Amino acid sequence: MSAPAAVARTQRLLVALDFDGTLSPLVDDPMSARMAPAARDAVDALLAAPATVVAFVSGRSLRDLRVIAEHVDGSPILLAGSHGAEYLIPDAPADDALDPADTDLRDRLRADAEKLAEAAPGAWIEPKTFGFGVHLRTVSDPAAADRLRESVDALMAGAAPHWRRRQGHDIVEYAFTDAGKDAAVAHLRDVVGATAVIFAGDDVTDEDAIRSLGTEDLGIRVGAGETAASVRVGNIEELAAVLSTVARERVAAQQ
């Protein structure tokens, strides 16, 4: 029996999915990201399957994740934003309180990073709830991108050495919370009472969640890169095919 087929037979399944690069193609304008048609169909099939919960687990702020996921009030999809520092879970209270000292420092460092980014045409700073991201995808000069990375690293080492740094696809993120996708998956598993978890992602930050999975779970890596996942797929469409198979297996098991 294949790994997807085996996990599909669990009593209550949580399917936790990264968004950018996993369900949506990577794009130059992050707010224009949307689920690929095949991914949307697979998610819909999972939502229709018995005892199956779908969650999006993203480094995006919860506000931005709702926009790109086209998540409306009443949606059954659970959301974990900011690498698990923010959640949108039905009937669960939201904790939106932030320490003013943290947000004041965040805003000052964002502004400083924006000034540094002026030296690397094409770079831009993405505001995040718990920090900011330095986007380098549209920087045409690799040397300028490297210099910007180094200058922002130096800024953060001097002003906020306790902040967490994450490297992703053409982005470097800095945050004053240490939340990670491993903790997000653990929290979601507990909330929904899942007996097994499927987690899929395409980037370095997703490996935290993949490494945290148990023997009854399934980790899926989308695309290239070192991974602890037991299954690798080449692209979003191949992931969608795996997820659709899981949905069909779960429906068939109930018939």
- Per DSSP, the residues of 184-218 read HHHHHHHHHT-SEEEEEE-SGGGHHHHHH--TTSE
Q: Are 250 and 52 in contact (CB under 8 A)?
A: yes
The pLDDT assigned to 93 comes to 62
Q: Are 84 and 184 in contact (CB under 8 A)?
A: yes
The pLDDT assigned to 96 comes to 62
Q: Which amino acid makes up residue 135?
A: H
Q: Are 223 and 21 in contact (CB under 8 A)?
A: yes
Q: Which residues, including other chains, have CB under 8 Å from residue 154's CB and lie 6 or more apart?
A: none
- DSSP-based three-state secondary structure for 132: strand
The distance in angstroms from the start CA to the end CA of the chain is 19
pLDDT score of 20 more than 60: yes
Residue 28 binned pLDDT confidence (cut-offs 50, 70, 90): confident
pLDDT score of 1 more than 60: no
Q: At 240, list the tokens.
A: 């969608």
pLDDT score of 21 more than 70: yes
The pLDDT assigned to 94 comes to 60
pTM: 0.86
Residue 56 binned pLDDT confidence (cut-offs 50, 70, 90): very high
Q: What is the DSSP letter of 93?
A: P
Among the listed residues 18, 20, 64, 206, the single catalytic one is 18
Residue 241 burial by Cβ neighbours in a 10 Å radius (0-12, 13-18, 19+): middle
Mark whether 18 is an active-site residue. Answer: yes
The pLDDT assigned to 160 comes to 96
Task: Find the mean pLDDT for residues 100-110.
Answer: 96
pLDDT score of 30 more than 80: yes
User: Which structural domains are found in the chain, ordered by start?
Assistant: 3-85+179-253 (3.40.50.1000), 100-175 (3.30.70)
- Please report, to the nearest 10 degrees, the dihedral formed by the alpha carbons of residues 125, 103, 24, 167 taken in order: 60
Residue 255 binned pLDDT confidence (cut-offs 50, 70, 90): low
pLDDT in tens, 124-163: 999 999 999 999 999 999 999 999 999 999 999 999 999 9
Percent of the chain with pLDDT strictly greater than 70? 97
pLDDT score of 114 more than 70: yes
Q: Which amino acid makes up residue 44?
A: D
pLDDT in tens, 221-244: 999 999 999 999 999 999 999 999
